[in-house]
């Protein structure tokens, strides 16, 4: 099978999230134009030699040792070339931090490999990243992904570090950070680690699987010894090899019984790995069989009142699972460089996450006679408790998208079955807390398509979204069609029911939130106001106080109040859609 080793690693990571540590060598940062530590030492020697007017040097290390009576030392080389800390930092930045020209060329900034690794960490598949590199590219990539890692770059950091079992992500810079003169460069410096670092590595190599990339194993004697003395192999080791492995690497591969994966580049490999773990994750979240089983279970429990506790537990557990996922770092709202593609990917992740729960609530809303309507209210209320209130505003608003999808799926299903008590539990009863004023308000005040997508409607995953009057509503209309097909198999009937739901949502908003605004739905252009004369409304008005909608406490049970709200909405709709074709 093509790429079988990559698939094997992806499957193992997905099945065992957090049990693999990454070991990243200079080969990963080399693609970004970052020199290795030894290359920096040799360049510094060249600068010293230029100052000493030495010419035609073939062996820079030997020349330095002969000239100064000692092996090259990173800190002493810097002392010979600079006089102040500012000069030292300026010299170091030239190796690791990009100029504007270099940034435009894509140099000395996180590579696709760094960004893919950061996303893999964000998804919870990797918690420990060991690196021999001095640069900060992996930290920058993690920061861009919304993760603030615990960084260990010295023994002092190691002593004061939070235990890695309690950390979201730990980056261990085995040889130091470029801004610290204690970095390890020479063979002598790389021969031994401190007792504290050795103890830490012993635990990591014993307790974690290992993915190695961009590290030859040749020069880092202490690191090589730490791996070789590991007594057990609880999880597999994957060695990513570009070309022939060194003899030192082969010893480690044999000792760890590592799976060798030939790669063309770190960028290509980690992008492919990320795609595979994301595919596995999405498959697990939205597997059609698991959704079908969940829906069948809801129906079976509804058929027998004795199962009401089981039904409660089933809906509650699924809701809590979704909420915990929404609270994870996977859905951070603090993201640098937010783009249309990132926004749309976040939408798809939310949709996959609530697909099963939306199907369960649609079944409950359609088949339940009202005895379990409170479950609909509790579920929607729970998901309006968004976990984050800082970061990118558009991502903060998008946190309400999962609850919005549940409200639409369950509400349309309730109208299809004329379950008006369930509809009241969906539209009227749920509350959300407005943290700005520390007060509870009707949830539909926040679960409004225009509120969630007010500044991003042009980013909807639809062709020509910028030219549509209601692109977000249109998108949700198409998205929910397959999920509601069992309840509304006829396309025309589905369209009428969808528009009726949005119309009732708008009227309910006017009735219980405020009378100066109502959410816009597809009916605004699709029916151009004719929905007020639809069969649903006409039949209801004819029934008067016997209308099931009014008996479910909508509009205070008053046909006069309903007609009053209809007129207010008609005026608002005409003002808002004036000029629409």
Do residues 260 and 241 touch, judged by C-beta distance below 8 A? Answer: yes
Q: What is the pLDDT of residue 261?
A: 92
* pLDDT score of 289 more than 60: no
Q: What is the pLDDT of residue 181?
A: 67
Query: Is the torsion defined by CA of 469, 472, 475, 476 positive or negative?
Result: negative
* pLDDT score of 443 more than 70: yes
Lowest-confidence pick of 153-157, 266-270, 387-391, 577-581: 577-581
Most confident region among 33-37, 166-170, 229-233, 441-445 by mean pLDDT: 441-445
Single out the residue of 379, 536, 493 nearest to residue 447, CA to CA: 379
* pLDDT score of 1 more than 50: no
CB atoms within 10 A of CB 72: 20
Q: What is the pLDDT of residue 35?
A: 81
* pLDDT score of 333 more than 70: yes
* pLDDT score of 275 more than 70: yes
**What domains, with CATH codes, occur in the chain?**
4-32+110-270 (3.40.50.1220), 37-104 (no CATH), 286-577 (no CATH)
The average pLDDT across 299-308 equals 92
State the Cα–Cα distance between residues 339 and 458, nearest whole angstrom: 12
The average pLDDT across 330-357 equals 87
Query: Is the torsion defined by CA of 360, 362, 367, 372 positive or negative?
Result: positive
> To the nearest whole percent, how much of the chain has pLDDT over 70?
93
Most confident region among 109-113, 453-457, 534-538 by mean pLDDT: 109-113
Query: Is the torsion defined by CA of 219, 220, 224, 225 positive or negative?
Result: positive
Q: What is the pLDDT of residue 295?
A: 93
* pLDDT score of 343 more than 50: yes
The average pLDDT across 144-154 equals 90
The average pLDDT across 75-99 equals 77
Q: How is 445-513 classified by DSSP, letter by letter?
A: GT--HHHHSTTTGGGSSSTTGGG-SSHHHHHHHHHHTTTTTTT--SHHHHHHHHHHHHHHHHHHHHHHT
Q: What is the pLDDT of residue 576?
A: 75
* pLDDT score of 359 more than 50: yes
Q: How is 501-561 classified by DSSP, letter by letter?
A: HHHHHHHHHHHHT-TT-----THHHHTTTGGGGSHHHHHHHHHGGG-HHHHTTGGGG-HHH
Q: What is the pLDDT of residue 485?
A: 94
- Which pLDDT band, with edges at 50, 70 and 90, does 106 fall under? confident
Q: At what angle do helices 340-367 and 373-383 cross, to 10 degrees?
A: 170
Higher-confidence residue of 492 and 94: namely 492
Q: What is the pLDDT of residue 532?
A: 62
Dihedrals φ, ψ of 431, to 5°?
-120, 155
Q: What is the pLDDT of residue 287?
A: 55
Q: What is the pLDDT of residue 284?
A: 65
Q: What is the pLDDT of residue 286?
A: 55
Task: Indicate the pairing of strand 209-213 with strand 431-434.
Answer: unpaired
Token digits of residue 415: 């109208």
* pLDDT score of 334 more than 70: yes
The overall average pLDDT reported for the chain is 87
State the Cα–Cα distance between residues 302 and 308, nearest whole angstrom: 7
What pTM was computed for the model? 0.56
The average pLDDT across 86-106 equals 81
Higher-confidence residue of 36 and 323: namely 323
The pLDDT tens digits of the residues spanning 58-78 come to 787 888 888 888 887 766 777
> Residues 6 or more apart from 385 whose CB is under 8 A from it?
323, 432, 433
Do residues 420 and 551 touch, judged by C-beta distance below 8 A? Answer: yes
């Amino acid at each position: 099978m093509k790429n079988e080793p990559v698939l094997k690693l992806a499957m193992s990571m997905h099945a065992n999230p957090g049990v693999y540590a990454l070991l990243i060598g200079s080969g990963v940062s080399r693609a970004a134009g970052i020199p290795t530590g030894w290359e920096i030492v040799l360049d510094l020697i060249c600068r010293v030699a230029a100052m000493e007017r030495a010419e035609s040097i073939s062996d820079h290390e030997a020349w330095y040792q002969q000239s100064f009576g000692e092996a090259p030392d990173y800190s002493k080389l810097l002392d010979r070339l600079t006089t102040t800390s500012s000069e030292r930092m300026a010299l170091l930045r030239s190796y690791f931090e990009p100029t504007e020209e270099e940034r435009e060329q894509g140099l000395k900034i996180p590579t696709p490999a760094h960004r893919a690794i950061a996303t893999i960490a964000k998804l919870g598949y990797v918690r420990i990243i060991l690196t021999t590199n001095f640069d900060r590219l992996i930290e920058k990539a993690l920061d861009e992904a919304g993760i603030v890692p615990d960084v260990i770059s010295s023994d002092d950091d190691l002593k004061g570090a939070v235990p890695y079992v309690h950390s979201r992500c730990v980056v261990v810079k085995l040889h130091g950070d470029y801004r610290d003169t204690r970095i390890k460069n020479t063979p002598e410096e790389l021969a031994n680690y401190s007792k504290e670092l050795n103890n830490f590595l012993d635990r990591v190599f014993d307790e974690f699987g290992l993915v190695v990339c961009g590290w030859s194993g040749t020069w880092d004697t202490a690191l090589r010894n730490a791996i070789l003395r590991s007594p057990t192999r609880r999880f597999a080791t994957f060695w990513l090899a570009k070309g022939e492995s060194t003899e030192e690497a082969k010893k480690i591969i044999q000792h760890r019984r590592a799976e060798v994966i030939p790669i063309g580049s770190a960028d290509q490999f980690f992008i492919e790995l990320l795609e595979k773990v994301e595919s596995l994750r999405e498959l697990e979240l939205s597997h059609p069989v698991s959704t079908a089983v969940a829906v069948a279970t809801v129906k079976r429990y509804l058929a027998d009142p004795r199962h009401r506790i089981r039904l409660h537990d089933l809906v509650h557990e699924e809701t809590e699972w979704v909420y915990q996922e929404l609270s994870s770092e996977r859905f951070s709202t603090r993201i640098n460089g937010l783009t249309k593609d990132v926004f749309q990917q976040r939408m798809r992740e939310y949709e996959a996450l609530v697909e099963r729960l939306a199907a369960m609530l649609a079944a409950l809303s359609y088949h339940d006679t009202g005895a379990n309507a409170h479950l609909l209210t509790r579920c929607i209320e729970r998901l309006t408790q968004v976990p984050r209130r800082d970061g990118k505003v558009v991502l903060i608003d998008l946190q309400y998208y999962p609850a919005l999808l549940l409200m639409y799926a369950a509400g349309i299903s309730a109208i299809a079955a004329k379950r008006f008590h369930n509809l009241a539990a969906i539209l009227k009863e749920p509350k959300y807390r407005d943290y700005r004023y520390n007060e509870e308000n009707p949830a539909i005040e926040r679960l409004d398509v225009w509120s969630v997508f007010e500044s991003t409607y042009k980013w909807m995953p639809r062709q020509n979204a910028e030219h549509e009057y209601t692109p977000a509503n249109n998108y949700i209309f198409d998205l929910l069609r397959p999920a509601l097909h069992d309840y509304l198999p006829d396309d025309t009937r589905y369209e009428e029911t969808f528009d009726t739901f949005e119309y009732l949502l708008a009227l309910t908003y006017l009735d219980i939130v405020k009378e100066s605004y109502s959410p816009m739905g597809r009916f605004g252009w699709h029916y151009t106001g004719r929905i007020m004369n639809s069969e649903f409304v006409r039949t209801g008005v004819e029934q008067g106080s016997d209308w099931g909608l009014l008996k479910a406490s909508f509009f205070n049970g008053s046909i006069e109040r309903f007609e009053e709200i209809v007129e207010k909405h008609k005026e608002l709709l005409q003002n808002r859609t004036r000029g629409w074709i």
